[in-house]
Amino acid sequence: MGTTEAWKKMREVCVLGVGLHKFGRFPDESIGDLGREAILAAFADAGCGPKDIQAAFGGRVFTPNTTAMRLVNEVFQTGILIDNVEKACATSSTAVRLATWAIGAGLYDVCLCVGVEKMERGLVGGVPAGAESRASYGQLMGLGIMPAEYALRARRHMYEYGSTREMFAQVAVKSHKNGALNPYAQYQTPVTLEEVLNARMIADPLTLYQCSPSTDGATAVVLCAREVAHKFTGRPITIAGWASGTPAYSASGVSGDVQEGYIERIAREAYERASVGPSDIQVAQVHDAFSAGEIFAIEDLGFAKPGEGGRFVWEGKADINGKVAINTDGGLESRGHPQGATGIAMLAEIVRQLRGEAGLRQVPGNPKVGLQHNVGVGGCNIFIYKK
């Protein structure tokens, strides 16, 4: 029996409630302060409380040690199983996947997941945290520096398909336009195409506005078995499918964020498990750590053919009222990217959209199917949600 068949035999799992601490810079708040606010917000949204939670999962990328336990214990201490996971930028979506497995298998009815980060200012990258001190050949050549990796693939994309600087820049214009409608976003100011193009160059063709910032923030979600959701007041959204995999990291020195080829395979598995295809997706949260990433994702996920992702964005097809509304909350670039918290932030936005609760940034037409694409050096998690 394959994984997809096993998944389809598991109990239906749904998102019951989501909660965020605003993203931004909070030097006076501790990790515990950030996490507490997110957890309490998720409880309020789910209509549940500490006594309902049977297990918890979560994490942080920078100094992850027993983070989930520390965050949960800030709010309640009931002795439940609390597992700490770390998967670089895909950390909190990994926590969600593990909770989904546990609930789907019947081990628990209601679980809490939480992600948090406080980030130092400046570039993330170089020899990855925790790696051996000896750098790989790729790293010595400048790979492993995130903007450089994205920029390299972007340059190749321009050469191969004729994508333009303007197309990559347009991603940032769209993201900041959406982020301006999101009160939880780190940056809530729209920018023009000219401003994006003329901003400080980080890694050609990516300028400052096309790079996700360093961010503090926290996110939490309550998941439950569909069969117990009626006990709570939260408005459940079903986790219809998921898939996960890793890139061939060591050999190439190129991290999982930008490696070609492997995301398509994982997306196919997720679509199969959810019994949908790319054309069914109405809202998507994709991993735009750098603007080019959104264009790669549009192609990798099958929203556009290879080479046509840039045009897809340029023509407005990724806008809130476009063909697939992408990164409606501002994405990593405008909403912010507190690495351990990002995965659940993506989930939260899709839940808000599918519930019709996204306010000024609500996707029209009562969307029913959403997709989340969360990648990092630790691999990729894709989730598909259904109303």
Is 305 among the residues that bind a copy of itself (CB under 8 A)?
A: no
CB-based contacts of 204, cutoff 8 Å, min separation 6: 151, 155
Considering only residues 57 to 76 of the shown chain, the ones binding a copy of itself according to CB under 8 A are 59-61, 63-67, 69-70, 72-74
Shortest distance (Å) from residue 263 CB to a copy of itself: 10
- Options 101, 155, 226, 368; binder of a copy of itself; rule CB under 8 A: 101
- Only segment of 83-91, 141-149, 178-186, 312-320 that touches a copy of itself (CB under 8 A): 83-91
Shortest distance (Å) from residue 47 CB to a copy of itself: 22
CA distance 101 to 108: 10
Catalytic residue (one of 89, 111, 211, 380): 89
Q: Cis check for the bond before 205: say yes or no (omega within 30 of 0).
A: yes
Is 383 among the residues that bind a copy of itself (CB under 8 A)?
A: no
Indicate the pairing of strand 13-24 with strand 237-245. antiparallel
Shortest distance (Å) from residue 156 CB to a copy of itself: 21
Does residue 337 have an active-site annotation?
A: yes
Shortest distance (Å) from residue 254 CB to a copy of itself: 12
DSSP alpha helices (H): ranges in 199-319?
249-252, 262-274, 291-300, 309-314
Considering only residues 196 to 225 of the shown chain, the ones binding a copy of itself according to CB under 8 A are none
CB nearer a copy of itself, residue 100 or residue 362: 100
Q: Amino acid letter at 97?
A: R
Is 9 among the residues that bind a copy of itself (CB under 8 A)?
A: yes
* Six token digits for residue 165: 């600087």
Is 6 among the residues that bind a copy of itself (CB under 8 A)?
A: yes
Indicate the pairing of strand 237-245 with strand 379-386. antiparallel
Say how many residues make up the chain.
387
Is 28 among the residues that bind a copy of itself (CB under 8 A)?
A: no
Find out whether 24 and 336 touch, Cβ atoms under 8 Å: yes
Does residue 211 have an active-site annotation?
A: no
Is 105 among the residues that bind a copy of itself (CB under 8 A)?
A: yes
The DSSP output letter for 125 is B
The DSSP output letter for 212 is P
Is 106 among the residues that bind a copy of itself (CB under 8 A)?
A: yes
Query: What DSSP element (H or E) covers 326?
Result: strand 325-326
Residue 79, helix vs strand vs coil: coil
- Options 140, 141, 248, 360; binder of a copy of itself; rule CB under 8 A: 248
Indicate the pairing of strand 55-59 with strand 110-117. parallel
- Options 206, 211, 295, 377; binder of a copy of itself; rule CB under 8 A: 377
Catalytic residue (one of 176, 287, 337, 373): 337
Q: Which residue has the tokens 């035999």?
A: 9
Burial label, 157 (beta-carbon count in 10 A; 0-12, 13-18, 19+): buried
- Options 85, 202, 286, 382; binder of a copy of itself; rule CB under 8 A: 85
Residues designated catalytic: 89, 337
Give residues in contact with a copy of itself (CB under 8 A).
1, 3, 5-7, 9-10, 30-32, 54, 59-61, 63-67, 69-70, 72-74, 77, 79-88, 94, 98, 101-102, 104-108, 128-132, 134, 244-251, 262, 265, 377-379
